[in-house]
Amino acid sequence: MLATALCGVLITGCSSGSGGEGDDAKTKPAAEPKTVAAGALRPLLLSQADLGSGYVEVHEKTESGKFDDVSVQGCPSLEKLGQSGEEAKFASKAETSFTYDTDATLGEELHSDRPSVLSSKLRALFGAYTSCPTYTMTAGTTPIRVSVAKSATPKLGDEQFAYTSTMELPSGAQVLKTMAVRKGNVAVMLVGAPALVDRHINAAVGKLPAGN
């Protein structure tokens, strides 16, 4: 499914960074919270019980090189992002996805890393995706025109990011919303039908650990 391919390509390369300040040269910066392991992230994912009726969880096996045939043209920032390789990944990750009424999708990813790294990478990621109002994504041999617009975000967690993508698929236009909220050393990202993302972002953030 081409829409799923775009969701999967979303978390790709971006630069990392960190920072710290101190008034006293003899005082070390406060240590950042440690990464939450993938096994500890999984119970924090949304479940069918959280979402309500009409949702069916999709069980997909993660395959190496699954998105190797997806490329981007016409947006230098995204092209560079896709070439970043292993540097792009967060320290740990858990994910799940659902269909709703058979034709709508909602995917969730949880990522954990040091707060400064999460912040830096999310800013770079969403900055790249919103840097070009239009670009072309090629999945296999199928070129897909994508239009992107920044979206408003609710005041949740420590940082919030969102944009909406409209893909011109052979079957017609499809709109996906991508929203991420960082809360300390964990970030939640929802990707899917805009109404579903807006409906469930509060519940997704509510399952994250209480502050660090």
Kindly tell me if the per-residue pLDDT of 100 is higher than 60.
yes
Model pLDDT for residues 145-195, shown as the tens digit of each residue: 999 999 999 999 999 999 999 999 888 899 999 999 999 999 999 999 999
Give me the pLDDT at residue 211, please: 58
Q: Is 86 helix (H, G, I), strand (E, B) or coil?
A: helix
Distance CA 87, CA 109 (A): 18
Give me the pLDDT at residue 112, please: 96
**pLDDT tier at 115 (50, 70, 90 boundaries)?**
very high
> Any idea which architecture 2-13+35-206 has in CATH?
3-Layer(aba) Sandwich (3.40)
For the chain, give the longest Cα–Cα distance.
Answer: 63
Model pLDDT for residues 120-147, shown as the tens digit of each residue: 999 999 999 999 999 998 877 888 999 9
**pLDDT tier at 55 (50, 70, 90 boundaries)?**
very high
**pLDDT tier at 16 (50, 70, 90 boundaries)?**
very low
Percent of the chain with pLDDT over 70: 77
Q: Is 75 helix (H, G, I), strand (E, B) or coil?
A: coil
Task: Report yes or no: 128 and 46 within 8 Å, Cβ to Cβ.
Answer: no
Rounded (5°) CA angle 120-121-125: 125
Give me the pLDDT at residue 50, please: 96
Instruction: Give me the phi and psi of 22, to 5 degrees please.
Output: -160, 135
Distance CA 93, CA 39 (A): 9
Q: Averaged over 111-117, what is the pLDDT?
A: 95
Give me the pLDDT at residue 81, please: 79
